[in-house]
Amino acid sequence: MKILNAAIMLLLLALMAAISTASTDKQAYIVRMDKTKITNKSLKNMDGFMSAVPDKMLSLHTTRSPFFLGLTGKKGKNGPWSGSNLHSDVIIGVVDSGIWPEHVSFRDHGLSPVPERWRGTCEKGTKFSPSNCNKKLIGARYFYGGYLAAGEKINETNEYVSTRDASGHGTHTASTAGGNFVEQANLFGVANGSAAGMRYTARIAAYKVCWPGCSTIDILTAMMKAIEDGVDVLTLSLGSTSEAVPYWQDYLAIASYFAFKSGIFVAFSAGNSGPWAYTAVNTAPWIMTVAASTIDRSFPAIIKLGNGETFEGSSFYTGKALKGLPIVYGKTAGVTGAAHCIPGTLNPKLVKGKLVICEPGDEYMTQSERGEQVKLAGAAGILVMSTVGEDLANEPHVLPDILLGTSSSKAVIKYVNSTKAPIGTIVFKGTTYGNRAPKLAAFSSRGPNLAGPDVIKPDITAPGVDILAAWPAETSPSTLESDKRRVSFNIVSGTSISCPHVSGIAALIKSKHKDWSPAAIKSALMTTAYTIDNKGKPISDLKSHALATPFGIGSGHVDPIKASDPGLIYDITADDYISYLCSLKYNESQIALFEEGFIECKKEQLAMQPGDLNYPSFAVNFNRKARNVTITYKRTVTNVGIPKSTYKVSVEAPKGAYVIVRPKVLSFKKLNQKLSYKVSFIGLSRKKPVVNSAFGSLMWVSGNYRVKVPLQ
């Protein structure tokens, strides 16, 4: 079987760091380069060996959203959630930290038998047996050979050596993508309502790879097993930091290509390293790379300072107001490090019964961990400061809290530092709706795409701030061991959470358009995305409230209603991607990692520009000093809307460039007809070199169809 051969080849790639069996064996056969005399040279003598790259340890990137997305309410009438679109069996593979199988979000009431095409299984492990699976959760596997090979150990005191989820991350993402419709879901009474996955009738297959670190070898093995099992969609809310490597050195890019070739839609989170440029990860063009943005729900808390100034922040706390309490910060709260609430730095005598300010620091601590230190010191509440952007993506603290954006944080600290006896009152407002949204989260990783600058990344943005979804019964909402609270649903933020939104929506589209390729689904999602918020203004960036650009939101915010009927699609085949790799000047052995039996690039493939890939966006990279230079790219669109239709082009040229489209009109005579057009970008003369990117758009218009792609 070709896929199996590909999996073996990929595992040979991993040999330089470790070789692990699939999770059915559960024994790690380890070959460590730093403990043996195995070298790259000796590996080359092995039959079938092609290349080796070191293993990496990755990290997890981690309800109102169905309504906000238009799946319910007036917009959703006859839409993707209408009965006829939910009958087909779509299987979503979730590669993450596992799943809590008993959760109400994964019950199988009313579901038909498991699809006969399903080839997966449910593996036995710690507190997990095959009987934990049902007609909803149809697959459960776990992989840890790479994790052990990296020198890590699984702490079985607080981790399950099985697919059972201990961290909560995998349960949350799985339910966001395909969890059941559950009434009266909430966290401590806030965000009360109905929780539902984007494709709530989907089948789910869980592949546990995080312990809590996630080895690329384990992820790769899980992805290849998911392909063999027969999933339709793969969602992966994990990734590295912004370390750009060529696609041929990226395990996950290679595995994702095999998934694409098998007809599987693959979505990855873009990462939470924003707002800095060049931080987006998981950027191969056959991957849907997802950014994170807000929805129109918030959890406001108001702090009033002793000088009368008031600032709005965020809190999930619903208790009584904290009135007129002293505020301490830094030296007035303890020793060096107290400003960051590092363990052992807060003085109980100085903070007891007071409000403590905590700032982010260089050390890695979550908001909740800082809050734990404040509570242990006896404080009444915590003021969580932000130093980057106006994000109000909060966490469920173990004491009363308020999270403030950067501008408010600076004002509060200025007041505290200039006042002899600073005081504050915090009032908690619960849940509010109808706020301006979406806004790009400051934490969401940004382009440009270092690995492939001719492809704009991220591709799209989706809800990823303060999202309510399922949570394990034995894991505290803060994930702190000292936190004895238990909940059925939790609120989490991150591109980890936006990613399964898009994966679930892709499953919806797959239900309606069963013959569409992963590239067609991706095109539909991208070309129908919107860039205007619910107040009629361009989507803003919480980095500074400036306008969001394609380097933050890609094509825009996902719109499942319009994506289900896009009019035109930009389709891409596996052969197209091989031609793209040739255009990147990858050599034969590098491309053979993607395409078994590949011999050499053809002349026409070598002559292709990377920008000629039939991608639903244009990234044009002029030399900074270029004047009157013309770059021309070609695109082909397929009619999937009305059989006889005419589309006219509308262009908003990026500043500093002139754009010519030929032809300006596309006339289709039937469905699935393909027509091509060319776009010429002319760099205009300028006195000074262009340093920053400029953006525009190209849109094909026909009746109610608006098929839009970004220009950079």
What is the side-by-side order of every strand in the sheet holding 696-702? 665-668, 645-652, 696-702, 705-711
Alpha helices (H) in 439-494, listed in sequence order = none
Peptide bond into 212 cis (omega under 30): yes
- Amino acid letter at 127? K
The count of other CB atoms within 10 Å of the CB of residue 63 is 27
Torsion angle in degrees (nearest 10) through CA of 37, 38, 39, 45: 130
Asked whether the beta carbons of 490 and 477 are under 8 A apart, the reply is yes
Q: What are phi and psi of 576, to 5 degrees?
A: -60, -40
Beta bridge partners of 193: 185
The C-alpha atoms of residue 294 and residue 337 are separated, in whole angstroms, by 32
Alpha helices (H) in 140-273, listed in sequence order = 145-149, 169-178, 216-229, 251-261
Asked whether the beta carbons of 19 and 29 are under 8 A apart, the reply is yes
Q: Residues with catalytic annotation?
A: 96, 169, 496
Q: What is the largest CA-CA distance in the chain?
A: 80
The C-alpha atoms of residue 657 and residue 618 are separated, in whole angstroms, by 13
The C-alpha atoms of residue 460 and residue 439 are separated, in whole angstroms, by 13
3 state DSSP class of 657:
strand
Nearest to 41, CA basis, from 93, 33, 610, 210:
33
Give Cβ neighbours of residue 671 (< 8 Å, ≥ 6 apart): 639, 640, 641, 643
The H-or-E segment that residue 552 falls in is helix 550-553
Q: Which two tokens stand for residue 643?
A: 């059989």
- Amino acid letter at 462? A
The C-alpha atoms of residue 114 and residue 93 are separated, in whole angstroms, by 14
Q: What are phi and psi of 144, to 5 degrees?
A: -145, 10
Beta bridge partners of 401: 382
Alpha helices (H) in 352-494, listed in sequence order = 367-376, 406-417
The C-alpha atoms of residue 369 and residue 365 are separated, in whole angstroms, by 6
Asked whether the beta carbons of 459 and 269 are under 8 A apart, the reply is no
Parallel, antiparallel, or unpaired: how do β-strands 439-440 and 540-541 relate? parallel
The C-alpha atoms of residue 540 and residue 521 are separated, in whole angstroms, by 26
Q: Which two tokens stand for residue 570?
A: 């930009």
3 state DSSP class of 632:
strand
Q: How many helices and strands, by DSSP H and E, does the chain display?
A: 17, 34
